[in-house]
Structure formats: C-alpha cells, structure tokens
Amino acid sequence: MIDYILIPLVLVMFASAISVIFIKDLIVAVIVTAVVDLITVVLFFFLQAPDVAITQASIVVGLTTFIFVVAIMRTTRKEEE
C-alpha cells in the first residue's frame, strides 16, 4: 500500500529536482525546490521519522525558502546592454 504512495512521490520529487536546473526565474526555482523539500517531509513521515520531518518542514522548507526569497527580492538585476 505504501509503495503505491511512495513511488509517485519519488517520481514527482525527481522530476521537480531535475526541472530546477532548467528554470530561468529564480523565484520559481526556489518554489520548486520547496516542493521537493515538502515531498521529503512526507517521505520522512512515511518512514516513521516524524521528528526529522518536523525539523525538515520548519527549517528547510520554511526558513530557508523564506531567506532565499528575501535575498532574491533584495538584489538588483543588471541588464546586459
């Protein structure tokens, strides 16, 4: 039963991780990376590691994504002339 849930999650996680390489917009890339991290949280819950899942959700998904978005928003973009 769990295999039927884990396999699609791992496939979506793999596809999202590969798609980050080809995304040009940095904010979208950060959001897709957050999706990969959220899937990791779900996988940790299925693997009976709720403490690791809670830490992953709070630090990696929440705080790191917020820091990346703020850092990207505060930088200026230099256009090529």
Residue 49: CB atoms within 10 A of its CB come to 13
pTM, two decimal places: 0.81
The 10 Å Cβ neighbour count of residue 8 is: 11
Contact 62, 56 (CB under 8 A): no
Q: List, for residues 58-69, the tens digit of each pLDDT value.
A: 998 889 999 999
pLDDT digits (tens, 9 = 90+) for 32-79: 999 999 999 999 998 899 999 999 999 988 899 999 999 999 987 776
